[in-house]
Amino acid sequence: MNLEKVKRIHFIGIAGIGMSAVAAMAKKLDYQISGSDENAYPPATLVLDANNIFFHKQYKKEHIQGQDLVVIGAGQDPDNNLEVREVQKQGIEVVSFAELLYLFTKDKFRIVVAGTHGKTTTASLIAWALNSTGQKIGFFIGGYVKDFKTNYSLSQSNNFLIEGDEYYSSFFDKRPKFLHYHPSLLVITNLDLDHYDYYRNLDDLIDKFKKCIKAMPPDGVIVACHDDQNVRKLLKRSERKIIWYGLKGNQQKWKAENIIYSGDSMSFRARNLETKEKEKIDLKILGQHNVLNCLAALATLDYLGISLRSYKENLLKFQGSQRRFEKKGEAKEIIVIDDYAHHPTAVQATIDTARAVFPNRRIWAVFEPHTFSRTKATLEQLAHSFLSADQVIIPKIYPAREKFKKGGITAQKVVDEIKKYQQNVYYLPTQGEVVEHLLKELRPKDVVIIMAVGVFNQVADLLLSKIENG
C-alpha cells in the first residue's frame, strides 16, 4: 500500500490501546486524524487526550465522509458497526493498525517482542534501558508505560521496538498482528495457548510463529526463553541465530540466580554464561516471571551492543507498565494491587508473586473471567491458579468481543470448579457487590489483588478510595 496520497485517516475503534498509539503516531507524522469509539476508557483515552485527538463517542456513517484511509480495530466488523458497513459501501481503502504500523516503520530495524505473556513488560524494559543510556528508541507497546506516560514514541533512531500481539489483526485480515512486522530481531518470551476463539490448538499457535520467523531477513536473530518447552519445540530445527535465556540449567547464554525479595523490590544475579560476566540486578517490578522478562531485555540489549553496566543502576527506577502487579496504594494497613492477568498462567504468577512478597498476609484474589471461549477452554487450569490465595472472588464473565455470542459457561461454574481446590470462593456478580463484600470483610494487613481486563479494571481505585474514606 502507498501512503503518499493519503492525508485523512479515520480510526474505527480508536480507543483500543494499540489503535490509540498508532493514531497518535499518524498525527505526529502530519496526517489528519479522526476516530470513533463507543467503549472508551483509560489508558487509551489518556494517550488520545495527551495528543489532542478528538474522537466521536458514537458510530455514525457521516464520520466516514472524505476519508482517504480507514483503520478498523480488531473488535469491529460489519455485523456490529455501521461505520464499517459505510466504509464497505463507499469502497474506501482499509487497513488494520498492525499493517499501518509496519508502513510507518518499514525502513527501520524492527525489534519485535512476542509471546503469550510478558510482552509489555519486556518491551518496556528494553525501551527504558535504551532511553537511560541516551538512545531514544521509537516504540509501540501494548500497555501504558508509567515511566514514559505513554504507549508509543517516534524517534530518529534506526531501531524501532514493537510489541507483537498474536491475536488477529481485523475482521478482514485474520493474520496475527506480529506477522505484519517482519522483525530483524525477534524476542519470544513464552508460548501458551490463549485466544481460544482464534487458535485451534497449540500447534496452530506454533505454526503462526514459524511463519513470523520465516518472514525475518536471512540475518535475523531470535532471543528466546529456554525454560519454555513450547519455545524449544518451535525453535528445535531453526537455522536462525538464537540467544537463549532462562533460570533452569546451563544451556542458555543469560541466566538468573539468587532471587531475593525485600519490601517493595527484589534482586537477582544475572550471569552471562559465555563471558562469565556477573551483575546484581535490583528491580521494583516483582515476581519470577519478571526476572525472566528482565533477562529477555538483558539478552536483547547485549546483542545490540549495550553494556549491562551502562544501565543496570537505572533498572531500579523502572516503574513498569500500568496494571502489571501495580500497587495502587495502602490504606488502613490494607494493600490494593491492580493487575491485567486474564489467563490462568498469569493469574497464578500474580498470586504466587503476592505470596512471595507478602508471606504472612491474607491475600484476596478478585478475578474477572475474560471471554467465554477462554474461560471455558481453561477452566480446569484456572481452578488450580488460586492455590496461593486465601480468599477468592469471581464476578460475572466479561464477554468483550464475544458479547453477541452464547457463552456455554457461567461464572458460577468457575466458582464451583475452584471450590474443588479452594473453599473460600465467592460469586459476586457486580462491582458494587464485590466492593461491598470487601469493605465488610477486609482487616489490617490484608492484600487485595484485582485481576481484570474489562469493566472491573477501575475497581482497584474505587476500593482504595472507599477504604481511605470509610
Over the Cα atoms of the chain, what is R_g?
A: 22
More confident: 8 or 340: 8
β-pairing verdict for 363-367 and 391-394: parallel
pLDDT at residue 2, rounded to an integer: 85
Q: Give the C-alpha separation, 317 to 296, whole Å.
A: 18
CATH number of the structural domain spanning residue 333: 3.90.190.20
As a whole number, mean pLDDT of residues 271-286 equals 93
pLDDT at residue 294, rounded to an integer: 97
Cα-based torsion angle of the residue sequence 132, 136, 142, 147 in order, rounded to the nearest 10 degrees: 40
Same domain assignment for residues 237 and 281: yes
Task: Report the domain count for the chain.
Answer: 3
pLDDT at residue 113, rounded to an integer: 98
Residue 140 within a domain = yes
pLDDT band at 321 (very low <50, low <70, confident <90, very high): confident
CA nearest to 448, candidates 287, 339, 324, 320: 339
pLDDT band at 454 (very low <50, low <70, confident <90, very high): low
Same domain assignment for residues 313 and 338: no
pLDDT at residue 406, rounded to an integer: 63
pLDDT band at 320 (very low <50, low <70, confident <90, very high): confident
* Per-residue DSSP letter, 455: G
Please identify which residue in the block is written with the cell numbers 484511509. Answer: 69
Same domain assignment for residues 455 and 354: yes
Same domain assignment for residues 334 and 441: yes
Digit-coded pLDDT (tens) for 142-175: 988 888 989 999 999 999 999 999 989 999 999 9
Residue 3 within a domain = no
Domain carrying residue 41: 8-95
As a whole number, mean pLDDT of residues 10-29 equals 96
Of the residues 317, 348, 382, the one at which a domain ends = 317
Same domain assignment for residues 244 and 266: yes
Same domain assignment for residues 139 and 229: yes
Which residues make up each annotated binding site?
A: 115-121
Cell (9 digits) for 260: 531475593
Who's near 100: CB < 8 A, 6+ residues apart?
9, 22, 26, 71
Same domain assignment for residues 89 and 111: no
pLDDT at residue 133, rounded to an integer: 93
Which residues make up each annotated binding site for ATP?
A: 115-121
Per-residue pLDDT at 126 exceeds 70? yes
Residue 2 within a domain = no
| pTM, entire model | 0.85
Q: Give the C-alpha separation, 424 to 415, whole Å.
A: 10
Of the residues 317, 351, 371, the one at which a domain ends = 317
In 3-state terms, what secondary structure has residue 91?
Answer: coil
pLDDT at residue 340, rounded to an integer: 83
Digit-coded pLDDT (tens) for 218-267: 999 999 999 999 999 999 989 899 999 999 988 899 999 999 998 889 99
Same domain assignment for residues 139 and 285: yes
pLDDT at residue 222, rounded to an integer: 98
CATH number of the structural domain spanning residue 259: 3.40.1190.10
CA nearest to 226, candidates 295, 134, 175, 177: 295
Who's near 394: CB < 8 A, 6+ residues apart?
367, 368, 369, 411, 414, 415, 418, 425, 426, 427, 428
Q: Which residues of 56-86 are buried (b: 16+ CB within 10 A; e: fewer)?
A: beebeeebbeebebbbbbbbbbbeebebbbb
Please identify which residue in the block is written with the cell numbers 487509551. Answer: 44
Q: How high is the mean pLDDT of the chain?
A: 92
Same domain assignment for residues 13 and 77: yes
Residue 458 within a domain = yes
Q: Give the C-alpha separation, 281 to 314, whole Å.
A: 10
pLDDT at residue 95, rounded to an integer: 97
CATH number of the structural domain spanning residue 67: 3.40.50.720
What's the start-to-end Cα distance of the chain, in Å? 57
As a whole number, mean pLDDT of residues 327-337 equals 92
Who's near 99: CB < 8 A, 6+ residues apart?
1, 169, 173, 180
As a whole number, mean pLDDT of residues 343-372 equals 91
Looking at 3-17, 301-315, 367-381, 430-444, which range is the least confident one? 367-381
Q: 36 pairs with which residues across the strands?
A: 12, 56
In 3-state terms, what secondary structure has residue 339?
Answer: strand
Q: Give the C-alpha separation, 111 to 114, whole Å.
A: 10
As a whole number, mean pLDDT of residues 40-50 equals 89
pLDDT band at 403 (very low <50, low <70, confident <90, very high): low
Same domain assignment for residues 28 and 136: no
pLDDT band at 448 (very low <50, low <70, confident <90, very high): very high
Per-residue pLDDT at 123 exceeds 90? yes
Whether residue 43 has a cis bond before it, omega within 30° of 0: yes
Calculate what percentage of the chain has a pLDDT beyond 70: 98
Same domain assignment for residues 302 and 154: yes
Cell (9 digits) for 132: 537511560
As a whole number, mean pLDDT of residues 110-139 equals 95
pLDDT at residue 281, rounded to an integer: 96
Of the residues 317, 339, 360, the one at which a domain ends = 317
Per-residue pLDDT at 405 exceeds 70? no
Same domain assignment for residues 88 and 111: no
As a whole number, mean pLDDT of residues 42-61 equals 93
Per-residue pLDDT at 404 exceeds 70? no
Q: Give the C-alpha separation, 130 to 19, whole Å.
A: 25
Cell (9 digits) for 444: 489490617
Digit-coded pLDDT (tens) for 82-110: 999 999 999 999 999 999 999 999 999 99
Q: Give the C-alpha separation, 468 to 396, whole Å.
A: 27
pLDDT at residue 399, rounded to an integer: 83
DSSP E strands in 381-446: the ranges are 391-394, 425-427
Q: Give the C-alpha separation, 396 to 454, whole Å.
A: 11
